[in-house]
Structure 1
Amino acid sequence: MENKDHVAIELEDMVKNVQPLFQRCTIYKVPDEIRLSNEDAYTPMAVSIGPLHHRKNPKLASMEPQKMIYFRHFIESRSKVRLTDLVSLVRELEPQIRACYSEEIPFTVDEFVKIILVDCCFVIEFFIRQGEFLVPGTTRLTTTIEDDLIFSKPWLRGRITYDLLLLENQLPFFVFHKLYTLVRGSNSSSVITRDYEFHPFFMLISFHLIHFIDPNIHELHSSSWSSSSSPPPHEIVLHFTDMMRFLYLPQSHSHRQPSRKSRELFVHGASELDEVGIKFESRYRSKSVLALEYEYGVLAMPRIWLSEDWSEIVLRNILALEHCHYPTQHYVFDYVDFISQLIDKDKDVDILVENGIINHLLGDNKKVAELFRGLKRNIMVSNCNADYLRISKDLDAYYEDPWHKRLATLKRWKATATIGGIVLLLLTVIQTVFSILQVVL
C-alpha cells in the first residue's frame, strides 16, 4: 500500500471540502478598489439592513429602537398570522438567504433569523407608510401615524430611502415577497394597476417609491401609467439595488436587452462634435434613461438630472452591482462611460447644459464632468453595448468627414476673427483716449 505524505493527505481533504465561491450570491461587499473612490456612497448613514452592516457602526445604533417599534406595529396591526409562523418561515429560508451574501455571515442561525425578520418587517412597514400616501389606488391600512420619529423628520426619511438602495444594505427580494404574502393572506396580497395586471402590493409600493427617487426615471413615465412603468414580476429583481437598475434598462415584455460587442468605446467630446455641426437634442419621452439615438447629424438623449443628494449614491451602487453580478451586461456602466467621454472637458458640459440635456445642482459644470469620471474609476469591462458602439462609430465618421472638418476650421477662424476684432477695437479706443489726453495736457 502506498504511503502518502501527510501534506498530500491534508490537501486531498481540503480539495474534497472546497466549495465554489459566489455560486448563488446576489448581495455583495463593494470591492475595496471601488469603495475607496467614495466610501460614503456605499455605507449606510441612518439604518443598517441585513447582516453585512449589523452592529458594525455605532452611529446606526440609534435607529434600532425605531426598527423595533415598526416591527411591533407590523406584527400587531398588519399581520394575520402568529409571530411563530413568521419565525418558522424565515428559519426555513435561512440557508437560502445566507447563500445570497458574498461574505461569510458570522451570526448563528437564531441570530440570523432575528436580524432578517426584524429588518424585513421594518422595511415593509416603512414602505407601506409611505405607499399609503403615494401609490394611487391603494387602500390605507393606517389612518394616523403618531409619534413617528422617521416621518416627523423628512430628511431622515429621505436618508433611510437612500440607505435602502445601497448594495451592501440589502435583503433578498424573495424574502419580502414570501413574508408579505404570508402576513397579508392570499386574498389581499395583490392590487390591480391601471394596466389591469396583478402585482403584489409590496412590490407595487416599493416600485413606486424607488421610481420617484430618480427624476431621470420619473420624467420618462410621468405623463401616464403604462405597462412600461409597471413593476416587474417579483421573480425578476434580486433586491432594491437591482430594482433601481431594472428601472434604468429598456423594458419590454421579453426583458431583452441590447446586444453587446467586445470592443472599446470611443466618443468625441461634445464641443468637438458641436464644431463639426452635430446637434444635441433633449428627448422628454423615451423608452429608457439609457436610450441614445443618432440620425442625420443629431444626437438625441433623455434629459439628465443630477443632484448632490442622490445621483452619485444611486449610480455608484448600480455600477458596483453590475461589476459584481453582471460582468457582461453592464448597461448602466456603458451609459456612464459614453456620457463621461462626451463631457470630458468643462466646455463639453456647457454644450449639453445649453441644449437642455443636462440639468444639475452640483454648483458648476466642472463638477458634472468630475462626477462621471469618478463613477468609472477602477471598473474594468470587456465588452460594450452594441448600440453605443454604432453611435460612436457614426459620430466619428461625421467628425472625420473632410467637409465637416472644414466647417469646424471656418468656425474657429470666425471665432478668432471676432476676438481679433474686439482686441483691435479696444486698442483703437485706447489710442484715441491717449490722443485726447495729449491734446488736453
Structure 2
Amino acid sequence: MENDVVIELEAMLKNAQPLFTTKNCCIYKVSHKIRQLNEDAYTPTVVSIGPLHHGDSTLVIMESHKQVYCQHFIQRSNASLTDLVSCVQQLEPQIRACYLEKINLTVDELVKVIFIDCCFVIELFLKDEWMTNDAIYSKPWMGTRVIHDLLLLENQIPLFVFDKIYNLAFASLLDGDLFPSFMSVAVTYFSMFNKQGLLLPSASSSIVHFTDLIGYFILLPSHTRPSRNPELLVLGHSASELVEAGVKFIVNKSSSSNGCMLDLEFDHGTLKIPHIKVGDGTEIWLRNIVAFEQCHYPKEHYILDYVVFLNHLMKTNKDAGVLIKAGIIDCIFGGNYESKVANLFCHVGKNSLVATTNVDYLRICHDLNAYYNHPWHSKMATLRRDYFTSPWSTAALIVGIMLLILTVIQTVCSVLQV
C-alpha cells in the first residue's frame, strides 16, 4: 500500500507554481523588510487601483464613487461598452503577467476590476465640468490623498492598459489631433512632480506605470545619467562637521541641473545641492520610488543613491539644520522639523540593497573626505569645534588672545626700558 504522505506530496508538487518574473513584470508588493518600516507609506488610504488592494475594507466606500466616474467615461466615449470591455478581456493575460504576486481573481473578476479602475483614472485626469461639486476635486485634502494613492507601487495598473482603453474611446478625436493623448493628461495631472519641465515621454518609452512616471520626472534624462560603480558610497563627515572644515552649502541653480534634484556638485570647497521641498507627502513618493528601484532597477537605483548621500550628510538634527538654513531643504513640516527631516532621509533607505553607486556621488564623497582631511581644514575644524561652539566661548577666546598680546607688548616694553 502506497504511503499516504507520498501521495499527498506528489499531488502537492504536481500543483506547485514557480515564483518568477516575466519580461512584462513591473508591479510588485513591497518586501516585508522594507514595508515594516512604515506600512502607511505603501498602503492606499482613499482609493484602490488594480487587484493588489482590491476589496480592502477601508477602501470600499470609494468603489461606488469609482463606478460613477466609470459611467461618465462610458457616456463620453466614442466606443461602446462591449468594445471597451472586450479590449480589457483581450489584454487580461498580459495584465496578469505584469504582477509578481499571484492574483487571486478569476479572469472575469480581474477584467471588471481593471476596467472600472482604468475608467475612473482616465475620467479623473480629464476633469470635466460635472466634477464641480465632486468630493475629490472640491475637497483639497481628498484630492491630495488620491494623488498619493495613485503613485503607490502596489496600487498600479500597467500604462499600456490605460493607453489602449483611452485610444479606443477617443479614436476619432485623436486622429484629428483635437484631443490630448493619455500620456499628456497623465503628465498634467502629476505636474507637481515635473520640476524639470520634461517633455512627454515618447510613445516607445519604457515607462510602465505611474510610480515609474514620477521617477522619470526626477531622474536626469537617460543619455546624461552618470555611469555606475560597485563601490559603496562612504562619506566620513556630516554636514555640520564639513561646515567646521570650511565647506559651504548652497542651492545648485546651475543651468546644467535643469531642475533635477539629483544633480549635486562639489567644487572649490562648495557643495551645491538642488532645492527640495520636504513635507508629509515626501516620504510617500520617495519610499515608493526607492521600493520600485529595488524591484525593477536593482543596478540603477539613482534615487536611492541620493537618499543615501543625504543620509550621510544628515546624521543629527544639527546637520539637517545646516541644509535647511542654506535653503537647500524647504521644510513644510510642523513642530520639530529638523528632527523630522533627519529621520526622513535616515529611514527611507533602510533595508535597501545597494548593488552599484552613481560615480558622480562617489567622486563627491572622495573629494569631501579629502577636503576635510587636508591638514589646514582639519585644524580649522578642530578650532571651530573646540573654541567657537558658542558666542561666549568665541568672546572668551578673543579676550584671551588680546590679553596675551597686551602681555607680550608689556613684556617687550619692560625689556626695552631696561
If the TM-score is normalised by the length of the shorter chain, which range does it land in?
0.7 to 0.9
C-alpha distance 109-18 of structure 1, shift in aligned 2 (>3 A): closer
Distance 2:50 2:67 in 1: 14
Cross-structure match for 1:335: 306
Distance 1:32 1:264 in 2: 24
C-alpha distance 386-186 of structure 1, shift in aligned 2 (>3 A): farther
Query: 1:376-387 counterparts in 2 under 5 A?
Result: 376-387=349-360
Q: How far 1:150 moved relative to its partner? A: 2.0
Cross-structure match for 1:154: 140
Report if the CA contact (8 A) 2:52-2:155 is conserved. Answer: yes
Distance 1:149 1:418 in 2: 54
Cross-structure match for 2:68: 69
Distance 2:208 2:283 in 1: 21
C-alpha distance 372-243 of structure 1, shift in aligned 2 (>3 A): same
Q: Which TM-score applies when normalising by structure 1? A: 0.81
Distance 2:292 2:214 in 1: 11
Distance 1:314 1:290 in 2: 15
Cross-structure match for 2:406: none
C-alpha distance 417-34 of structure 1, shift in aligned 2 (>3 A): closer
Does 1:230 find its partner at 2:210?
no
Alignment RMSD, CA only? 2.9
Cross-structure match for 1:298: 270
Note the alpha carbon deviations across 1:336-367, whole angstroms, 9 max, x for none: 00001111111111111111111112232111
Note the alpha carbon deviations across 1:239-262, whole angstroms, 9 max, x for none: 00010111111015x4x5321111
Q: Which TM-score applies when normalising by structure 2? A: 0.86
Query: 1:4-403 counterparts in 2 under 5 A?
Result: 14=13, 19=18, 21-23=20-22, 24-56=24-56, 58-77=57-76, 79-129=77-127, 142-185=128-171, 187-188=173-174, 201-212=181-192, 214=193, 217-218=194-195, 220-221=196-197, 228-233=198-203, 235-251=205-221, 254=223, 257-267=225-235, 268-284=237-253, 286-287=257-258, 288-308=260-280, 310-363=281-334, 364-403=337-376
C-alpha distance 416-336 of structure 1, shift in aligned 2 (>3 A): closer
Distance 1:373 1:277 in 2: 25
Note the alpha carbon deviations across 1:16-51, whole angstroms, 9 max, x for none: 975451223110111111111111111111001100
Distance 2:173 2:369 in 1: 57
Report if the CA contact (8 A) 1:66-1:149 is conserved. Answer: no
Report if the CA contact (8 A) 2:25-2:97 is conserved. Answer: yes
SS at 2:342 equivalent = helix
Q: How far 1:200 moved relative to its partner? A: 5.6
C-alpha distance 417-188 of structure 1, shift in aligned 2 (>3 A): closer
Report if the CA contact (8 A) 1:163-1:169 is conserved. Answer: yes
Note the alpha carbon deviations across 1:66-119, whole angstroms, 9 max, x for none: 111100000012x11111111111111000000101111111111111110110
Report if the CA contact (8 A) 1:203-1:234 is conserved. Answer: no
The amino acid that maps onto 1:169 is N
Q: How far 1:280 moved relative to its partner? A: 1.2
Cross-structure match for 2:410: none
> Size of the alignment, in residue pairs?
391
Note the alpha carbon deviations across 1:351-392, whole angstroms, 9 max, x for none: 111111111122321111111111011112122111111110
Report if the CA contact (8 A) 1:241-1:321 is conserved. Answer: yes
- Where structure 2 has 5 or more consecutive residues not aligned to the other structure, the ranges are 399-418
The amino acid that maps onto 2:70 is F
C-alpha distance 348-190 of structure 1, shift in aligned 2 (>3 A): farther
SS at 1:379 equivalent = coil
Q: How far 1:186 moved relative to its partner? A: 5.4
C-alpha distance 18-51 of structure 1, shift in aligned 2 (>3 A): closer
Cross-structure match for 1:433: none
The amino acid that maps onto 2:229 is K
C-alpha distance 418-145 of structure 1, shift in aligned 2 (>3 A): closer
